Amino acid sequence: MIRTYEKEKINLRDLEPKKQQGEHSHDDGHNHSSPEEISNFRTYLPAIFSFVMLIAGIAIDYFDAFPFFKGWIRVVWYTVAYIPVGFPVIREGWKSIKNGDFFTEFFLMSIATLGAFAIGEYPEGVAVMLFYAVGELFQNAAVNRAKGNIKALLDVRPNEALVYRDVDFVSVNPETVEIGEKIQVRVGEKVPLDGILLSEKGSFNTAALTGESKPDTIAKGDTVFAGSINLDGVIEIETTKEFKDSSIARILDMVQNATARKSKTELFIRKFARIYTPIVVFLAIGLTFLPYFFVDDYVFRDWLYRALIFLVISCPCALVISIPLGYFGGLGAASRNGILFKGASFLDAMTQVNTVVMDKTGTVTKGVFKIKEINSITFEEAEFMKYLMAMEEQSTHPIAKAILEYKADGSDYEATDVSEVAGKGLKGTVNGKTVLVGNKALMTSNGIEVPSETDGIVESIVMVSIDGTFAGYVTIADELKDDAHQAIKQIRDAGISKIIMLSGDKDSITQQVAKELNIDWAKGGLLPEDKLNEVEELKKQPETKVAFIGDGINDAPVLAASGVGIAMGGLGSDVAIETADVIIQTDQPSKIARAIKIGRSTRSIVWQNIGLAFGVKVIVLILGAGGLATMWEAVFADVGVALLAILNAVRLQKMKWN
């Protein structure tokens, strides 16, 4: 089992359904059993055959129904029962030995069962190997179940795209579609690539990406993610990413790589098993021969039997199977909830977090600025906005985008000779008039008197001067996310002692948002290096384990430096997502508390399995060495405990976290 599980890396191609040659839908009278069903039956057939042979042999022994069932006939019977389950294990043990790896579980099980045959305990030898094989089957079934989420993701991975080429939409492989091309998605079809919605609106099922079953309705110009299912009407999308960079491809890649990143507990157990196994082999040898020098009525067969029991009990399969399976289950459960951990190590790290530091814009706010108030002094509002919009058309700032959403009647004005004043705003000419658009520092540096009423404004403010006279201002505000208050409460309920907000936005806005959300401490007006310095200072405090949540390129250094970096996967920049350890696919900050709870549940189950395995094994090892346990107790201590641990790990697949 050790070797089997170490090979158990998720290969996405292995999960894909294979195309069968000559597939057809009509009934031709042939057997239409699926290859998967046939394969499953063949997998269980050796164990079923051995079980039937074993039960029949024990029944004949017990009732003494056939006098001839003795001697070589009995040996042959049990040998035939042993071969289907024993030969694969012996073969793997031999391969391991040839590769220089002697002390594997295959080696232990082979010695123990062949030794049982050598001393005439044929039924017990078959039973040990049979239960071991059943343990293998349970393990494989549990792993396949844990892979269910990844298979579900593969099911939503689009395999064709309707792209507009040569005055018509043609079906092509999504991997051949380039950025900027127009694609069409019909009702019930999967969106093949990330893009911008060209249609007026669309409704999508994003459950496979976000874990949310509620349909997501978006408007023209909003982002649509690959893997979403179109629910309402034919829509058109302009692609913004290649297929290999799409959201669904990124998720698959991260989930695949996650299984290769082991937790410290998992790594420790694997190293422990490599040291522990040879020790118990030499102890078993000592248990066989050393009593000869200390016991008066030494009987070799009895002490060999005890040593064989000792070997069976000592197999560390319950640990090396159930622990990685527990983490595997945790990763799968998290992905079902729209949370992607990039490795089992981060599930562990999440349980240690006691301080949460978060960005503001795009993390607890929507990152979408809107005009809150327009205050025009020297012009009518519409005229004033035409001057302002003409200038902002030359800017790519998010605030400029918010201003340009204003609907003004009449002909648009055009700005010329526009130049940027670093850190202050824009200067240019509109309709022959000199126009300044920016902050108070821009106004002051150009001798423009600013009304004192603007000093008390907390929101972002855009001031406008026309021909040397202050013409008015516009306030811009970002909205809190719908679950922002809930997120902070749930993070506290999860036992986080300190919540901090660090933002590049101005300090007055940061403080206002922090106060509204009941955040412990906040600081605004920070550059990326300032955020990094603040987090580094926190890390210097003893016992402080920091998780940082952000979404922008400027958050990448802090995400990398923190104990656990958490990125918003929807609005978040590619750099932030690549740097982070955990991705919140839904952009919901309330998922942070859920990620903490999933990490704790996973770690709890892993330690339950460790305690169960060690506790039972130590007790039965002592009983076995003292001659008080038979091979049947040994089977329970090995395979039985492994099965219990696997079933315990599978519980993660059914758990709910609110």
**Cα dihedral value 319, 325, 328, 333, nearest 10:** -120
Residue for token pair 């016991």? 295
Residues in the chain: 658
**Nearest alpha carbon to residue 642 among 281, 138, 108:** 138
Strand partners, 172: 161
Residues 6 or more apart in contact with residue 96 via CB below 8 angstroms:
3, 102, 104, 106, 107
Measured in degrees and rounded to the nearest 5, phi and psi for residue 604 equal -60, -45
Of the residues 216, 348, 359, 638, only one is catalytic, namely: 359
Q: Is 474 helix (H, G, I), strand (E, B) or coil?
A: strand
Q: At what angle do helices 317-336 and 591-625 cross, to 10 degrees?
A: 170
The answer to whether 312 and 617 have CB atoms below 8 angstroms apart is no
Question: Is 359 marked active-site?
Answer: yes
CA 115/CA 95 separation, integer angstroms: 20
Q: What is the DSSP letter of 639?
A: I
**Nearest alpha carbon to residue 154 among 257, 19, 14, 35:** 14
Element holding 169 (H helix, E strand): strand 168-172
From residue 357, alpha-carbon distances to 119, 366, 521, 534 in Å are 65, 18, 10, 10
Q: Judging by beta carbons within 10 Å of its beta carbon (0-12, 13-18, 19+), is residue 183 exposed, middle or buried?
A: buried
The rounded radius of gyration (Å) of the Cα atoms in the chain is 33
- One-letter amino acid at 69 equals F
The answer to whether 463 and 442 have CB atoms below 8 angstroms apart is yes
**Nearest alpha carbon to residue 180 among 168, 191, 169, 164:** 164
Q: Which residue numbers are catalytic?
A: 359
